[in-house]
Amino acid sequence: MERPAWAPPGIDLSVPSVSRMYDYYLGGSHNFEVDREAARRAMEFMPGLPKIMQANRAFMRRAVRHAVDEGITQFLDIGSGIPTFGNVHEVAQAASPDARVVYVDHDPVAVAHSQAVLAGNDRATVVAADLRKPLDILTDPKTTGLLDFDRPVALLLVAVLHFLEDADEPGRAVAELRDALAPGSLLILSHASFEGIPLPEEQAGGTVGVYRSIRNPLVMRSRAEVTAFFDGFDIVEPGLVSMPHWRPEGPADQEDPYAFSGFAGVGRKA
């Protein structure tokens, strides 16, 4: 197949990518037919997937503005994916021009496209690294060049931890990152769950099966399991809630039923 100009050399165009599927759900153009096909298969079981992704992005934007309101101007976004309209650096730098943002992803397409989007922006960068190896992220010269870990940082783990299986020790990764953060730092987190999905679990499980089949297992966790990621953080009001219920700017009850799938929350390091 034809390799588009924006696709970095060396990537396998025959294997679907989670970040390119996410881009497709959000109406982006940085995806291949193999990604669209996998996304459509997932949507056969859960037609509201794009609504879930939109609610997730909207939560992220509100949480970033909240962080700026709290005086935080440093952002570490891990599992950032392909930058679509209204990404962290746009929201943060619109609210505070001196905001600094480090994006982290292990998908080469996400990294290459982020580099293109951020060209000329000296307060934002992208690091190619994996959440499972926090030390690689924290010690990368691009990270240390932009972020001062002696001051509060907003750590974003938005729709990423559910791609780590228990064997990957996601709790250990979050704890390592937390320990590197100054007091007053924020954890901005969202996570998939069977709770809140307006479907029988068996049907929603079909979507989980699609992700497993593309070697990117989607791990649905319970409220208690997601809450455990906030160990060492005080969860701010309104707590761990569905995405539209986290400090909504309008009436949350007008959202699509799928938007209430899974959990979102923000914690402050004491």
pLDDT at 222 (0 to 100): 98
Query: Average pLDDT, whole number, for the chain?
Result: 94
Provide DSSP, 88-125. Answer: HHHHHHHH-TT-EEEEEES-HHHHHHHHHHHTT-TTEE
Q: Tens digit of pLDDT for each residue in 247-270?
A: 999 887 778 999 999 999 999 999
Q: What is the CATH number of the domain that holds 156?
A: 3.40.50.150
User: Is residue 73 predicted with pLDDT exceeding 80?
Assistant: yes
Number of compact structural domains in the chain:
1
The arithmetic mean of pLDDT across residues 21-42, rounded, is 94
| Cβ atoms of 104 and 173 closer than 8 Å | no
Rg (CA), the chain: 17
Two tokens, residue 30 = 């940085």
Does any domain span residue 240?
A: yes
Q: How many angstroms separate the CA atoms of 169 and 226, rounded?
A: 13
Q: What residue numbers bound the domain in which 104 lies?
A: 49-199+218-269
Q: How many angstroms separate the CA atoms of 78 and 187, rounded?
A: 11
Q: Tens digit of pLDDT for each residue in 163-191?
A: 999 999 999 999 999 999 999 999 999 99
Q: How many angstroms separate the CA atoms of 23 and 83, rounded?
A: 8
Does any domain span residue 75?
A: yes
pTM of the model: 0.95
Does any domain span residue 254?
A: yes
Q: Tens digit of pLDDT for each residue in 155-169?
A: 999 999 999 999 999
Q: Tens digit of pLDDT for each residue in 193-205?
A: 999 999 999 999 9
